[in-house]
Chain A
């Protein structure tokens, strides 16, 4: 069961990563369509339309991660400590705390993406979205690295 939940955690994380990266890219300045390279075409989306999907995906990924966390604490972290891999323990600690803070800023994330919020909040929108994207990317990579060292199940 833990392995199934871990795989679902990873699959939903991939969807979240894609949506959030797309939305974050949409916040960067773009050139006219005729001059656009691939990255600019990738970024030419209405970022606001991703907001609800990203929040829901984040919540699902967070809940799945929270459910399998006890298995990590018993089956993975203890061997890490016995092997002296304290940097790996530290990376997971950072992953869990960053993930928790990410959940806490979801209400603010919604506020800064409200259309009527206007340009005065553009800096907030950019910074909050960039932080959420950084948290998701960091958590995703750390999860994979640690699972490669010693997986669950």
Chain B
């Protein structure tokens, strides 16, 4: 059995899920760089030393969602429907990140 994988679906879903995962703060895990500890989920562990890093977990969550979708959606079907607007989701994701991060610059 040939397993079909849609690279277009992966990228589109990655961008959209990144927006949601970042906005709702849903990393798959947190990383504590001082001692190199990993903690599942988004909830900080008060027993760990130092700051927690969520970015690796955000990437992992988005990649998981995108990979699942990429196996479920057919490439030809998606491209036929989004042919003219494939570029929109990455721009939306970057714009969303700028919006989420605006408190740093205000």
Chain A interface (Cβ within 8 Å of chain B)? Answer: 66, 69-71, 73-74, 77-78, 86-87, 89-91, 93-94, 96-98, 100-101, 103-112, 120-121, 123-124, 127-128, 131, 135
A108 touching B7 in the complex, CB below 8 Å, given contacts A69-B53, A121-B83, A124-B87: yes
Q: Which residues of A contact B14 (CB under 8 A)?
A: 101, 104-105
1/0 per residue, CB under 8 A from A, across B30-49: the answer is: 01011010000000000000
Shortest Cβ gap from A4 to chain B (Å) = 18
Count A/B pairs, Cβ under 8 Å: 105
Question: Quick one: closest A residue to B12, CB to CB?
Answer: A108
Within 8 A of A (CB), among B24-79: 31, 33-34, 36, 50-51, 53, 55-56, 58-59, 62-63, 66, 79
- The answer on a CB contact under 8 Å between A105 and B15 is yes
Inside 8 A of B12's CB, which chain A residues have their CB? 108
Known A127-B91, A128-B90: A101·B18 in contact at CB below 8 Å = yes
Does B86 touch A at the CB level, under 8 Å?
yes
In the complex, whether B81 has a CB less than 8 A from a CB of chain A is no
Interface: B101 (CB within 8 A): yes
Partner of B51, one of A73, A87, A93, A105: A73
Where chain B touches its partner, the secondary structure class is: helix
Complex CA distance for A101 and B19, rounded to whole angstroms? 10
Shortest A35–chain B CB gap in Å is: 31
Q: Kindly list 12 other residue pairs between chains A and B, CB separation below 8 angstroms, not including A87-B105, A120-B83.
A: A71-B33, A90-B103, A93-B101, A94-B98, A96-B55, A97-B94, A101-B94, A104-B11, A104-B66, A108-B90, A124-B83, A131-B91
Q: Are A131 and B55 in contact (CB under 8 A)?
A: no
The answer on a CB contact under 8 Å between B7 and A107 is: yes
Question: Looking across the interface, which residue of chain A has its beta carbon closest to that of B100?
Answer: A97
- The residue on A at minimum CB distance from B62 is A104
A121, B87: Cα distance in complex, Å: 10
29 of the cross-chain contacts (CB-CB < 8 Å) are A70-B31, A70-B36, A73-B53, A86-B104, A90-B101, A90-B104, A93-B101, A97-B18, A97-B22, A97-B97, A98-B97, A101-B90, A101-B97, A104-B18, A105-B11, A107-B8, A108-B7, A108-B8, A108-B10, A111-B7, A111-B8, A112-B86, A121-B86, A123-B84, A124-B83, A124-B84, A127-B87, A128-B90, A135-B94
CA distance A96 to B95 in the complex (A): 14
